[in-house]
Structure 1
Amino acid sequence: MLIDGNSIAYRAFFALPLLNNEKGVHTNAIYGFTTMLTKMIDDEKPSHILVAFDAGKTTFRHKTFSEYKGGRQKTPSELSEQFPFIRDLLNAFSIKHYELDQYEADDIIGTLSLQAEKKGYDVVVVSGDKDLTQLSSERTRVEITRKGITDMESYTPEHIMEKYGLTPDQIIDMKGLMGDSSDNIPGVPGVGEKTAIKLLKEFGTLEKLVESIEDVKGAKLKDKLNEYKDQARMSKELATITRVAPVDVSLDDLKRHEPDEEKLRTIYKELSFNSLLEKLGDGNAEEIELKDLEWESVTDITESMLSSQSELYIELFDVNYHTAAILGIGLHNESGTYFIPVEVAQNSARFKDWIEDTNSRKSVYDAKQSIIAFHRLGMELKGIDFDLLIASYVIDASQAADDFSSIAKRHGADAVQPDDAVYGKGAKKKVPEDNVLGEHISRKAAAIAKIKDRCVSELEKNEQDHLFTDLELPLAEVLAEMERKGVLVDVERLREMGDELKTKLAQIEEDIHRIAGEVFNINSPKQLGVILFEKLGLPAVKKTKTGYSTSADVLEKLQPEHEIIDHILLYRQLGKLQSTYIEGLLKVVNKDTNKIHTRYNQVLTQTGRLSSIDPNLQNIPIRLEEGRKIRQAFIPSKKDWVMFAADYSQIELRVLAHISQDEGLTEAFNNDMDIHTKTAMDVFGVEKENVTSGMRRHAKAVNFGIVYGISDYGLSQSLGITRKEAAEFIKRYLESYPKVKEYMDDIIHEAKQNGYVSTLLHRRRYIPEITSRNFNLRGFAERTAMNTPIQGTAADIIKKAMLDMAIRLEKEGIKANMLLQVHDELIFECPREEVEILEKLVPEVMEKAVELSVPLKADFSYGDTWYDAK
């Protein structure tokens, strides 16, 4: 199997939406490439495999025609930054990859396929470029990608004859006549595919055609061929794949070996390829040689076991600590290490008093989980002074917090087994015997003691002790309270919405059938394709092995062509709302209380942003009115109460104004101007009254994109303009706000010097790639350096606001509850008579959370549901 690496990476990049992992690396091309690679290997099971790459812009063909491949747009930086990762993945797969100076991937493939044929191998070539179909033979099959990255068309000599009426060799003659705009091969002007095929069927080869031009029918065509015959010969030469390139790899070098699963697992984790990680499995749980530990399983908790400074660990059998079985408690202090069974803890008034004593200091792993788990046992955990999970995250957020064992090992305590080694995994997961369980839990409590001082010392050294002690640790308690309280859901309203959507879907289905003139299954791409492209005669944009493509991008292109398309797109959107969100929310509602208890992940993102799960509140769609209406189901938990929502206005741009100290941005915010209108005025050089909605839209896109290092390609895609226009827009923006450009240059320099960047509250993000010799990796790192202080500071501000808010609500004796945090928004429930208090209190607290050189601004509203509060 010989794979055209550049072609497949390009195909994957443009076929899949721009994906990012937690580090901000674009991953769509890497993901698509890997998916295609694994599928082809599984399908074909090759004995030998090579991925060929283009070595550079200049090839031997440029000597023949200097404009060869001229006019091609520069590779988007979002794609080029992904190539190093693709090469790393190939190394992990133990797959040879190769490039050759002055030659293209096609030439490497052409040369090796001929060598393989001569040695009696069957060959499969994989590419997105039909030029390679010329290599097709009795022994070589060429697989060309059609739709996306998995739909392939097989080119054999028979298929080429059936499709074009030509032999594989004649594909080169056809290219010589018709040219190829993508490679800037000129061909003969005015000769397209049909004419070229017709001429080749009659004359056989380009050379014979040139010899027999007088026999060509049609004076105009004859004149064209006479005038451009030399250009046609040159074009054929350019289109011919050489099969004698000086490659220095042999077929033996291409033998397929087993992948290095550990390397693959590491890369998949780094790139957040969870589905691929799942397919790979977790590997065999690592067995760690355990050092001796003296521990005791207790049946009665005595006074001597409880100390004013202890390490406390509570073990759960599942990730959802709201519902998971509680397996036991580990306790460690100067008097010893103990395993406390759950029933022993629950039956001990002495233990409960100690747990609830603020003066008895406890060091834990995952404060939020611990608080909720002890609450389920009827105890309110107080006096937490250290959290290993949060400390490890603050010290270095780039080290993914997988489990206790890996975190402990990272900080020097290697005597804790991974949970998989103790419990097993998947269907085989079970609670072990008491002595194995007791020792495992005791070891975790003892490990916290071993690690704590080292972590505290590192936090102090990094000037992160205040971030840890004054923000993240107390915030865990606030989040625990929010999760525990949960938010009430109007289950009947949710079901009503489901019924409304079903009715609406049925009506749209009826409309589609009426417009189509017949009843068919709208969810069947095959049936839909026949209706659209055969019955209604719409132009087919893409075809698949099973028929016509009816993907969203295809339908969007067809919108101006026929009224049915709008109906189909709406039908699909509403169908997703119904299945993913209405039914999805109903699944996670607590049946006893009708509440949803989302779980906030405090240690996931590298920017410090909170994320949530079961449900993911950040993803509730709000662009479509039907999606926004889902918020109607989130209601106050008491009668005569209302939902009160407040969100920061343009917080990241305000942070940028503060960090950069740009006069233009600062002036706009200090004078309470609409920042997007102000940007449009500055960039387009017009007065306020002359700013059009289109100008403001462009300004808004660049305002939010510029600090993320948005490229001309990225901006052109989001605005639907050319890359040239996008590049000019970015240039004018940076000229209008020179201190923003200065900030970008300074922060990159700082990152190169320190190896990390920081937020205003000293949250760090390490960026080792900033000094990479690889241009693309360095480019990604520079964008990360620009963005992190802004996004991370915004995350710190809203966290500080939540903490301040919880303190003020308690201090003022207000009944209102803080329920949810979504993006830059805080959602409360409160008695109707407290609305007036919250209207003053909430903006005041949010706007004073952190002092910037421009004012923070919080907008608020309230209503009977979350929907009404927007």
Structure 2
Amino acid sequence: MSEKILLIDGHSILNRAFYGLPDLTNSEGKHTGAVYGFLNIMFRILEEEKPDYLTVAFDLHEPTFRHKLYDAYKGTRKGMPPELVEQVPLMREMLTAMGIKTVSMPGYEADDLLGTLARKSEQKGMEVTILSGDRDLLQLATDKVMIRLPKTSKGKTTIENFHTAEVLEKYQVTPPQIIELKALMGDSSDNIPGIPGVGEKTATKIIAQFGSIENAHEHLEEIKPNKAKESMREHYDLAVLSKTLATINTESPLEYSYEEARLGNLYTQQAYELCRRLEFKNLLGRFDAEAVPENTIEQNFFVCSELSGVEALFEKAARNSMAGIALIADKNNVYGLGIALEKEEVYYIPAEGLLSGEYLCEKLRKLGEATVISAMDIKMLLKHVESLEPERVFDLGIGAYLLNPLKSSYTYEDIAREYIGGISIPSREELLGKDTYEKAWEKSSENLGICACYQAFTAYAAREKTEAELKETGMWQVYTDIELPLVFTLDSMEKCGICVKGEELKAYGERLSVRIRELEKLIYEKAGEEFNINSPKQLGVILFEKMGISGGRKTKTGYSTAADILEKLAPEQPVVNDILEYRQLTKLKSTYADGLGAVIEEDGRIHSTFNQTITATGRISSTEPNLQNIPVRMELGRLIRKVFVPEDGCVFLDADYSQIELRVLAHMSGDEKLIQAYREAEDIHRLTASQVFHVPYDEVTDLQRRNAKAVNFGIVYGISSFGLSQDLSITRKEAAEYIEKYFETYPSIKVFLDRMVDEGKEKGYVSTMFGRRRPIPELKSGNFMQRSFGERVAMNSPIQGTAADIIKIAMNRVYERMLREGLQSRLVLQVHDELLIETKKDEVEAVSRILEEEMKGAARLAVELEIDMHQGESWYEAK
């Protein structure tokens, strides 16, 4: 049986992976998606082909003969986007780490080298497979040389295979005649111009009839249609150039050793380390245990399970300036404790026998009085350990979030890689699989202790660099003055929860069900038949085919019934209005009426989780359940707030910042006209309408005020003319005029927004008034849409982020002052710019004063911060 060689077109497959698969970045901010996609495609082909030899060919950046020829004709070729360029050396590094031979050569393209190796290998009697995304390589197909062309769509890759017969069947020409085809029809992706007016079908007919462009040119008068004949007559020189560009050189002077290309073990220790660095976690399972480097860190892990030893351990920890702590716990139980006294001295204490969870938490409380505790998640620690103080703890997760707020999670292994000299340590998933802490504890898993030690080690070892970088970036005060105190504020809110009337919630759900059934009946009557209203496909057919409603937009899967499309149709189509209401009410029922009932705890309260490290702008989010997303647009949605009530003897006080983001914009831009309007307590939207639409202030119509309001708030969010036209149902030209007039009215705002974009491009980030940074890598993207998104982010992040900082400062000040004054009232909820206080009835006056003073005093702006405050027996009444 003959030997087999696999040849891969490096840049082509990397390019295909880049455009066909989602982009990935690792925690260092490096783009890695193309490398990951390349490896997955390569592994698949290797498993299918089982070759004896493997070589990957790459282009060099210097121009080849064909490049120069094309440039002389056209001027310049389109370059690779920078996000892909940076992945080429990474790809080559990975292949080298796997022991895979790579080839490149000055003056020759990768396909020249592939063509040369294919012919050479075929002559040696080998079977040859070439993997490429470039159809030019089909000219190399023979009965012994197979070309494999991957096609990636929606994250899935399929592969077409071509020997001579398959090329002939699909293209009606022989493999060498692919060159002739390209000479006529061109190939923009490969910088081959072709001749004008000749597409694939015409080119195929001409080559099938005449065999070559030279023969076709000799029989010019026989070419049909006339358009192709005249194009060949006028542009034959282009056809000759294109043929030269399309022809692969199969005799390049490449020095090559088959022994170096022999396929060995790809899964080396170097490849393992690189996969870990690039965070290709799904690929790590391919490596044998021998490839995984011995982790010397674990040599410093010890188990301490005797009472006397644990007592001595805590005494020693109390004499240190800092201890790294990992409390292995869930919401209700403690399973063990990791504690690092030094990088080389890390202990695991299992929670069992005399070393109960209560005992360990009490020891931690006392330790917190003596030394600084550094941990990945201080809020989790506070659930079990009382009386810790902000100045005695360091929250590594919060620090890492501030330094890079674009990540979706802040795991200990990522933090170790970034802040402890780039080391790679196993993740929780690698150690415990999908087991919860409780499950691992029940199994007596040895890896639970190792996991605890790695977390404690990271909490200890990464603290110094994290703190240093927070200071270097000017975010130390954001950490100490805003985020760290907020951990304690949010912990108090989570523990307190908010009271819910279960019976009223049930009655609310039944009320929704009645209205949903009414709407179903109405919709069926208007449609003339019953159908699944929740099926976009069926709904699209009913609305745009059966009922003949105009304005539908057809997609590959049917008509789009997205909310923005239906909302445009609703004013003229009662059935569409009913459908929109039906959608809102069914979501209300499933998410809130039914969903909230399932999370009411034994104390009759819902204890939501408030997240600090989710949003890039610094806003707090709420989950399990999300209490920040309760609908307020429709009355039936607002009514759900009636089920949220204060406990007996209390009322709700609700305080909401008035137009905080516009006030922040006035301050940060320094626009005198906007500042003056706020100082004179003008209706800002009416004033904007008056100045933008050039009508007297007292004659502004409600519609003009509404439109001005949309522009005011749209500017804060970096709205485009397209976005504003959609919001106001006006033409894009009208929207552009509104925005232009707005900037004429408030010129300093335009200067400020432009400056933010310039700063973002220059520094790679923008900052809030308090110094919080928001990185914007999209500004350097080669993709226009991504760059445009980056510009909007640069405009709105300083404003939104500053507003988020202010509400956090206000929350901390209100919480701390109520504690300081010994009040029993409690902060129970934050929804963006709104604070809800469960207030003892005899403390209403004191809490009202605190809200007024602390919320208004949270920041010193050029315009005064204002709040709206209301009182009620339910959240509905107080809002």
Q: TM-score range by the shorter chain?
A: 0.5 to 0.7
Name the CA shift for 1:133/1:8 in 2 (closer, same or farther; >3 Å).
Answer: farther
Task: Write the mapping of 1:329-340 to structure 2, written as runs, cut at 5 A.
Answer: none
* 2:328 alignment counterpart: 317
Picking from 479, 492, 495, the partner of 2:490 is 479
CA change 1:729–1:102 in 2 (3 A) is farther
**Matched residue SS, 1:819:** strand
Cα shift at 1:596: 4.0
Q: 2:248 aligns with which of 241, 244, 253?
A: 244
Q: Which residue of 1 aligns with 2:645?
A: 636
Which residue of structure 1 lines up, in the alignment, with residue 717 of structure 2? Answer: 704
| Contact 2:653–2:869 (8 Å) recurs in 1 | yes
Aligned AA (2:275)? L
Q: Deviation of residue 122 (structure 1)? A: 1.9
CA distance 1:306–1:64, shift in 2 (3 Å): closer
Q: Is the 8 A contact 2:478 2:772 kept in 1?
A: yes
Check conservation: 2:657, 2:867, Cα contact below 8 A.
yes
Kindly provide the amino acid, as one letter, of the partner of residue 802 in structure 1.
M
Structure 2: how far apart are the matches of 1:182 and 1:498? 61
Counterpart residue identity of residue 66, structure 1: K
Q: Does 1:803 align with 2:818?
A: no
Q: Which amino acid letter does the alignment assign opposite residue 820 of structure 1?
A: L
TM normalised by structure 2 equals 0.65
Q: CA RMSD of the aligned region, Å? A: 7.3
C-alpha offsets along residues 157-203 of structure 1, whole Å, 9 cap, x if unaligned? Answer: 777777776666469648836997998958555x7666666777766
Q: Secondary structure at the match of 2:387?
A: coil
Partner of 2:379: 368
Q: Percent identity?
A: 27
State which of 602, 607, 613 in structure 2 corresponds to 1:592.
Answer: 602
Give the counterpart letter for 1:853 in structure 2.
A
3-state SS in 2 of match to 1:481? helix
Given that 2:337 and 2:452 are in contact with CA atoms closer than 8 Å, whether structure 1 keeps it comes out as yes
Aligned to 2:297: 288
Q: Give the aligned partner of residue 120 of structure 1.
A: 127
Residues 56-91 of structure 1: CA deviation (Å, up to 9, x unaligned): 99944645743898xx9xx9xxx9453255446535
CA contact (8 A) 2:133 2:149 kept: yes
- The answer (yes or no) to whether the contact 1:809–1:816 under 8 Å persists in 2 is yes
The answer (yes or no) to whether the contact 2:181–2:204 under 8 Å persists in 1 is no
Matching residue of 1:176: 184
The verdict on how the C-alpha distance between 1:369 and 1:519 changes in structure 2, with shifts beyond 3 A counting, is: closer
State how far apart, in whole Å, the 1-side matches of 2:59 and 2:737 are.
Answer: 28
The secondary structure found in structure 2 opposite 1:368 is helix
Q: Quote the Cα distance in structure 2 between the aligned partners of 1:795 and 1:105.
A: 52
Partner letter of residue 141 of structure 1?
R
Query: For residues 276 and 585 of structure 1, what CA distance do their matches in structure 2 show?
Result: 40
For 2:5, the equivalent position in structure 1 comes to none
d(CA) in 2 for partners of 1:654, 1:675 = 10
- 1:740 aligns with one of 731, 734, 752: 752
Q: Which runs of 5+ in 2 are unaligned?
A: 1-7
Who is 2:336 aligned against?
327
Q: Establish whether residue 229 from structure 1 lines up as the match of residue 242 from structure 2.
A: no
Distance 1:860 1:188, change over 3 A: farther
Offset at 1:802?
0.8
Match among 852, 856, 859 for residue 861 of structure 2: 852
Deviation larger for 697-706 or 714-723? 714-723
Find the residue that maps to 1:327 and give its secondary structure. strand
The reply to whether residue 141 of structure 1 matches residue 148 of structure 2 is yes
Give the alignment of 1:93-492 within 5 angstroms: 93-94=94-95, 120-126=127-133, 139-146=146-153, 148-150=154-156, 152=158, 154=160, 156=162, 169=177, 173=181, 176=184, 187-189=195-197, 214=221, 221-222=225-226, 224-230=227-233, 233=236, 236=239, 242-244=246-248, 257-258=266-267, 260-268=271-279, 286-288=295-297, 290=299, 297-298=306-307, 316-318=327-329, 321-327=330-336, 344=354, 355=365, 363=373, 365=375, 366-374=377-385, 380-383=386-389, 385-390=391-396, 393=399, 397-398=403-404, 424-427=432-435, 429-430=440-441, 467-488=478-499
Decide which of 26, 38, 41 is 2:40's aligned counterpart: 38
Partners of 1:369 and 1:574 lie apart in 2 by: 36
Q: Does the CA-based 8 Å contact 1:317-1:326 persist in structure 2?
A: yes
Q: In structure 2, what is the Cα distance between the partners aligned to 1:49 and 1:570?
A: 60
Cα distance, 1:678–1:230 mapped onto 2, change above 3 Å: farther
Q: Mark the CA change 1:627 to 1:7 in structure 2 (over 3 Å): closer, same or farther.
A: farther
* In structure 2, C-alpha distance between the alignment counterparts of 1:172 and 1:286, rounded to whole Å: 58
The 1:505/1:315 distance shift into structure 2, 3 A limit, reads farther
CA contact (8 A) 2:778 2:790 kept: yes
Residues 759, 793 of structure 1: 8 Å contact kept: yes
Aligned AA for 2:231?
A: Y
Say if 1:358 and 1:783 are closer, same or farther in 2 by CA, change over 3 A.
same
Query: Structure 1 residues 103, 741: CA separation in 2 closer, same or farther (over 3 Å shift)?
Result: farther
What residue identity is the alignment partner of 1:638?
E
Task: State how far apart, in whole Å, the 1-side matches of 2:82 and 2:725 are.
Answer: 18
- Asked if 2 retains the 8 angstrom alpha-carbon contact of 1:635 and 1:643, the reply is no
Query: C-alpha deviations, 1:580-616, integer Å up to 9, x for none?
Result: 88887677x2653464433344456676544555446
What is the letter of the counterpart of residue 599 of structure 1?
A: T
**Aligned match of 2:826 in 813, 817, 830?**
817
Please give the alpha-carbon distance, in whole angstroms, between the structure 1 residues aligned to 2:191 and 2:262.
32
Post-superposition shift, 1:797? 1.9
- 2:496 touches 2:607 (CA, 8 Å); kept in 1? yes
Change (3 A) 1:590 1:463: same
Pair 443,718 (structure 1): closer, same or farther in 2 beyond 3 Å: same
Deviation larger for 844-853 or 293-302? 293-302
Offset at 1:482? Answer: 0.9
The residue number in structure 2 matching 1:66 is 74
Cα distance between partner residues in 2 of 1:567 and 1:54: 61
In structure 2, the residue matched to 1:377 is: none
- Contact 2:335/2:350 (CA < 8 Å) preserved in 1? no
1:841-863: CA deviation from partner (whole Å, max 9, x where unpaired): 54553232111223334456677
Alpha-carbon displacement from aligned partner over 1:705-732 (angstroms, at most 9, x marks no partner): 38xxx9x999999999999x99998999
Structure with higher Rg: it is 2
Contact 2:716 / 2:795 at 8 angstroms: preserved in 1? no
SS at match of 2:148: strand
**Structure 1 pair 386–790 and aligned structure 2 pair: CA distance change class (3 A):** farther
Q: Encode CA deviations 1:504-535: one digit per residue, 9 max, x unaligned.
A: 6998799799979998999799x999999999
Partner Cα separation in structure 2 for residue 667 and residue 602 of structure 1: 35
**In 2, Cα distance between the equivalents of 1:511 and 1:368?**
49
Does structure 2 conserve the Cα–Cα contact (< 8 Å) formed by 1:178 and 1:187? yes
The alpha-carbon deviation at position 470 of structure 1 amounts to 4.2
**TM-score under structure 1 length normalisation:** 0.65
Residues 529-570 of structure 1: per-residue CA shift (max 9 Å, x gap): 999999999999887xxxx6889899989x99xx99999999
* Structure 1 Cα separation of the partners of residues 26 and 517 of structure 2: 35
Relative to structure 1, is the Cα distance of residues 234 and 316 closer, same or farther in structure 2, using a 3 angstrom cutoff? farther
Whole-angstrom distance in 2 between the partners of 1:177 and 1:462: 55
Q: Highest relative contact order (Cα 8 Å, sep 6+), 1 or 2?
A: 1
Instruction: Give me the whole-angstrom Cα distance separating, in 2, the residues matched to 1:857 and 1:460.
Output: 32
Are the equivalent residues in 2 in contact too, given 1:607–1:792 (CA < 8 A)?
Answer: yes
